[in-house]
């Protein structure tokens, strides 16, 4: 577990350093609004058991990748997770807080690079290349984020990480894809209405959170009976 944690922290630090070395941040009004929304959403997590949790941050981070760029999305991930660590109750232990922060930073970094390397362009959600790139971005973010948590939970609980992933996270892929679709809608509306379109992210994340909260206990109860 210690070696795995050190690896995640090292990779997260490398991703942050690599990003800082490539250009300046664009702290626009869109970014600041997304930052506020992300900080509000970050504490809304659901405990899935085996120390696995699910967050509502994904649409904000993917949206930042597409609308603003990788650097801004990574800063959004770092600040929102640091805020969650500071205000969350009960507060995570230091190593768990750092793991969560580096997990989201690394997932955002990889998802962002996949988006742009696959032909995606900042603010573009109409061309076939950008749409396909967005799909790869969402899948990459989902795979990295959930895989790292599943491995960490599996090592800590001494159970198969794939079992953790399959039972706790595999069923959430639909909401991740829905979040990607929402990013497309927001990007299109933003071109016409400006940053007001970003407010659509809030009800979606609230609905996702309450869906998870209502669905998961029932699914776990049914699985326990079978």
Q: What is the pLDDT of residue 19?
A: 83
In this structure, which long-range contacts are made by residues 122-130, counting pairs with CB atoms below 8 Å and at least 24 apart in sequence?
122/66, 122/67, 122/68, 122/69, 123/66, 123/67, 123/187, 123/190, 123/191, 124/187, 125/66, 125/183, 125/184, 125/187, 125/188, 126/188, 130/66
Q: Cβ distance 19 to 68 under 8 Å?
A: no
Which carries the bigger pLDDT value, residue 72 or residue 208?
72
pLDDT digits (tens, 9 = 90+) for 50-107: 666 777 788 889 999 999 999 999 999 999 989 888 887 777 788 888 998 999 999 9
pLDDT digits (tens, 9 = 90+) for 144-181: 999 999 999 899 888 899 998 988 888 888 888 888 88
Q: What is the pLDDT of residue 186?
A: 86
pTM of the model: 0.85
Residues 33-40 have a mean pLDDT of 86
- The closest of 14, 13, 30, 11 to 122, measured between CA atoms, is 30
Backbone angles phi, psi at 165, to 5 degrees: -65, -45
- Give the chain's radius of gyration (CA, Å): 17
Q: What is the pLDDT of residue 18?
A: 85
In angstroms, rounded to a whole number, what is the distance separating the alpha carbons of residues 207 and 200? 11
In angstroms, rounded to a whole number, what is the distance separating the alpha carbons of residues 157 and 134? 34
Q: Is the predicted pLDDT of residue 7 greater than 90, yes or no? A: yes
Angle separating helix axes 58-67 and 94-117, nearest 10 degrees: 40
Domains of the chain: 28-221 (1.10.1760.20)
In this structure, which long-range contacts are made by residues 159-162, counting pairs with CB atoms below 8 Å and at least 24 apart in sequence?
159/50
């Amino acid at each position: 577990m210690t070696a795995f944690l050190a690896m995640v922290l090292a990779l997260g630090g490398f991703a942050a350093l690599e990003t800082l070395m490539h250009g300046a941040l664009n702290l626009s009004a869109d970014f600041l609004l997304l930052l506020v929304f992300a900080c509000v959403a970050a504490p809304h997590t659901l405990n899935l058991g085996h120390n696995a949790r699910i967050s509502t941050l994904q649409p904000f981070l993917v949206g930042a990748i597409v609308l603003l760029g990788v650097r801004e999305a990574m800063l959004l991930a770092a600040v929102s997770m640091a805020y969650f660590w500071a205000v969350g109750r009960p507060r995570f232990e230091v190593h768990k807080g750092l793991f969560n922060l580096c997990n989201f930073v690394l997932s955002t970094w990889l998802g962002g690079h996949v988006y742009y390397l696959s032909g995606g362009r900042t603010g573009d959600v109409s061309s076939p290349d950008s749409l396909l790139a967005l799909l790869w971005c969402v899948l990459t973010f989902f795979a990295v984020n959930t895989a790292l948590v599943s491995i960490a939970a599996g090592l800590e609980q001494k159970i198969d990480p794939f079992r953790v992933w399959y039972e706790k996270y595999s069923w959430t892929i639909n909401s991740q894809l829905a979040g990607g679709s929402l990013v497309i809608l927001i990007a299109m509306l933003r071109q016409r209405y400006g940053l007001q379109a970003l407010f659509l992210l809030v009800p979606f994340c609230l609905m996702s959170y309450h869906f998870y909260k209502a669905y998961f206990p029932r699914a776990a109860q049914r699985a326990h009976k079978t």
